[in-house]
Amino acid sequence: MNPTPERLDPGLYIVATPIGNLGDLSPRAASILARADAIAVEDSRVTAKLLNHIGTKRRMIPYHDHSADHVRTDLVARLATESIALVSDAGTPLISDPGYKLVRAARAAGHAIVTIPGPCAAIAALTLAGLPTDRFLFAGFLPVKEKAKADTILELGAVRATLVLYESGPRLHATLTALHTHLGDRDAAVTREISKAYEEAVTGTLSVLIDRYAEGGPRGEIVIVVAPPGEAPPPEPDAVDALLRDALTRLPMAKAAAEVAKATGLDKRDLYARALAMRDE
């Protein structure tokens, strides 16, 4: 017979669960779920399948965005003497999933908080997309209403980072079209069913993806990844000269070169040399 598993210390355990393949559940996550006094879940039916996979049963407490405040208050009170695991239906809790209010309340009450990292659709999609990953912004789901969606995209468009968005199949084509309208024809990727049997990553420009999904979006969980804005083209030499002439009417040569360098991104020393040449001309 297996020995009785060691009881967890009281506290909140944030447990990442598979987004597709159940084999992605880490041994540590499985151990936490098997030993927790209770599990706060989005959907008990979904979590029950996961618990059945690892051969355990645990008391489950529904907790989601629509839970009443007293549910969170009760969970926080339990943390003084109980270990409670927090899971979402799939992936890492709090990433476009409920949980941050519970974490804040638990921390304010002085309870221990432990994270058990694991699958996250946004990160997995980045690895599949083949787009820059040195800087990225996760924006979750865009607003449904057209004006709010356009405003949000325009705000995101100025960020010099790869954008990561969640979307549903029925709204995919409209969202790709809105992204193209407000961001231009950037490189992008549509990923779905990550870690499942039909995992797919379709890459191309936004216009290519719009054509690909013109007949409707695919089923499954979808992540859109959009490349950052391209580098601005260097200003035309005549335009630079015009800026220098204007600056030289107001400033000493070194300060004029510095002002134009700040405005154009060009090298200050090169601009100073150009200013000298213009003076000699």
pLDDT band at residue 219 under the 50/70/90 scheme: confident
How far apart, in whole angstroms, are the C-alpha atoms of residue 185 and residue 270? 33
| Secondary structure element (H or E) that encloses residue 11, with its range | strand 11-15
Average pLDDT rounded to a whole number, residues 58-67: 87
Range with lowest mean pLDDT among 27-41, 83-97, 162-176, 220-234: 220-234
Which pLDDT score, from 0 to 100, does residue 68 have?
A: 76
Percent pLDDT > 90 in the chain is 72
Q: Is the pLDDT of residue 232 over 60?
A: no
Instruction: Identify the pLDDT of residue 163.
Output: 98
> Per-residue pLDDT averaged across 138-164, rounded?
93
Distance CA 25, CA 15 (A): 10
pLDDT in tens, 175-186: 999 999 999 999
Q: In the chain, what percentage of residues exceed pLDDT 70?
A: 96
Give 270 or 189, the one with higher predicted confidence: 189
HEC string for 10-71 = CEEEEECECCCCHHHCCHHHHHHHHHCCEEEECCHHHHHHHHHHCCCCCCEEECCCCCCHHH
On the question of pLDDT at 4 being above 60, the answer is no
Q: How high is the pLDDT of residue 266?
A: 85
Q: What is the pLDDT of residue 1?
A: 41
Give the model's pLDDT for residue 233: 62
Of 41-55, 99-113, 152-166, 260-274, which gets the smallest average pLDDT?
260-274
Q: Are β-strands 162-167 and 222-226 bridged in parallel, bridged antiparallel, or unpaired?
A: antiparallel
CA angle 101, 107, 109 (to 5 degrees): 105
**How much is the pTM?**
0.78
Chain CA centroid to CA 195, Å: 18
Average pLDDT value for residue range 167-180 = 95
Mean of pLDDT values over 66-90: 93
Q: Which residue has the tokens 């041994």?
A: 27
Question: What is the chain's mean pLDDT, rounded?
Answer: 91
Nearest partner of 173 among 204, 216, 224, judged by Cα:
216
